[in-house]
Structure 1
Amino acid sequence: MFRGFATISFYADDMAAARDWYIELLGMEPYYAFPPPPAAPAYLEFRIGDDEDELGFIDRRYAPRGAANPPGGAVMFWHVDDLSATVERLLAMGAIEYEPVTPREAGFTTASVVDPFGNVLGVMHNPHYLEILAARKGE
């Protein structure tokens, strides 16, 4: 039934600020904007990571009822190569700690922050992710 992660959507009141903040964080421009420039975007999307996972931003005016609440609920965790350095960078860019770096069982370590737009961004060291990536490469 579930075939894989497709898109995670974040909301922002200031789409231009969200775009610029994530361009700085990710080191790339969004690959899609609607409506197209020069119009102010109502939706932006980045493709990131080994599988070009989609990180979308929706103008908060279009959020479903209840989606504009304070941070909470499910947290999507992105595997990163250097968890401590990533968390330090996020905090230096103005994110606020939501959950500190927390060692888990079997080599998993997680952390999460709230970006300047009120979205929870999870990052982690995930040994399983590395195993799957190595298997794809035939290592």
Structure 2
Amino acid sequence: MSTHPTLRGFATISYWSDDMEAAKAWYSDLLGITPYFERLGPDGQLAYAEFRVGDYQHELGLIDRRFAPAQPTSGPGGAIMYWHVDDIEATLSQLKSMGAKEYEPLVHRGEGFITASVTDPFGNVLGIMYNAHYLEMLNSRSQG
């Protein structure tokens, strides 16, 4: 029997795109880095690009929509993964200036917790959050 919790932590989030080169360029611009890993599909075109992001080097993967599961949706999905950001208003403004569309405006969810989300130019929901708990955990790990 495992002594670890079932869900041990965020590993990878995947975003889909019909135009992989455009998605790779957009996310490279947003993140200020290029993918550390890329894979071509059977046709020789870019099928997957992966970035290492943030304090814990989480994985953000871009996948050619041709390889999406067989049950596509006509709009954004139901789950939203929120990335911690230090300045949520500036980040939301930056995303919108890059062509992302507001999905949910800034919502104050209690002291130290603010969320917002956008739909990127490729149809994926990108959540952002100022999260005081994230900063507390990060600080406690750096002191331990």
**What TM-score do the two structures reach when normalised by structure 1?**
0.94
Query: What corresponds to 1:12 in structure 2?
Result: 17
* CA distance in 1: counterparts of 2:72 and 2:143, whole angstroms: 41
> Structure 2 regions of 5+ residues with no counterpart?
1-5
* CA distance in 1: counterparts of 2:73 and 2:62, whole angstroms: 13
Matching of residue 130 in structure 1 with residue 135 in structure 2:
yes
* CA distance in 2: counterparts of 1:13 and 1:121, whole angstroms: 17
RMSD value over aligned CA atoms?
1.4
Bigger Rg, which one: 2
> Structure 1 regions of 5+ residues with no counterpart?
none
* CA distance in 2: counterparts of 1:129 and 1:67, whole angstroms: 32
The alpha-carbon deviation at position 35 of structure 1 amounts to 2.2
The alpha-carbon deviation at position 72 of structure 1 amounts to 2.8
Query: What corresponds to 2:109 in structure 1?
Result: 104
* CA distance in 2: counterparts of 1:66 and 1:105, whole angstroms: 36
Alpha-carbon deviations, 1:90-127, whole Å to 9, x = none? Answer: 00000000000110023200000000000000001001
Query: What corresponds to 2:36 in structure 1?
Result: 31
The alpha-carbon deviation at position 68 of structure 1 amounts to 4.3
* Number of equivalent positions: 137
Among all aligned residue pairs of Structure 1 and Structure 2, give the percentage whose two residues are the same amino acid: 57
Query: What corresponds to 2:63 in structure 1?
Result: 58
* CA distance in 1: counterparts of 2:45 and 2:121, whole angstroms: 19
